[in-house]
Amino acid sequence: MVDPETGIVIEKGHALEGRSVADKVLVFPTGKGSSVVQADGLYQLQLRNNAPKAMIIQYADTVLVASAIVIGIPMVNKLPEAFYRELEADCLVEIDADANRVTIKASSCGECS
């Protein structure tokens, strides 16, 4: 769960608890919650300028895809497993959503596309 007013993850015990998703590339395995919660949650974040800059989703569902399109958040889906193994928190990535390609740019994180 993310607070739309701040963009901060407020779900207790979540790996990102206390961190902001605003203007970040958000990497996560799949959507969580009902379709209304997912779509409205992204919309509420966008209204307050707290939406992620882009989303990298391992297993996207139709609700997240449709929400990303409507709201205008670039999204990449089903990257090679090597990407998820090499990615570290706070890595700098370059995203080409049209080509479904992501390159890890930060030298401390390795490189994968």
> Which residues are catalytically annotated?
34
Beta strands (DSSP E) in the chain are: 2-3, 8-9, 25-28, 54-57, 75-77, 93-96, 101-104
Nearest Cα neighbor of 31 from 39, 43, 22, 21 is 39
**CA 4, CA 63: separation in Å to the nearest integer?**
19
Integer Cα distance of 15 and 96 in angstroms: 26
By three-state DSSP, how is residue 96 classified? strand
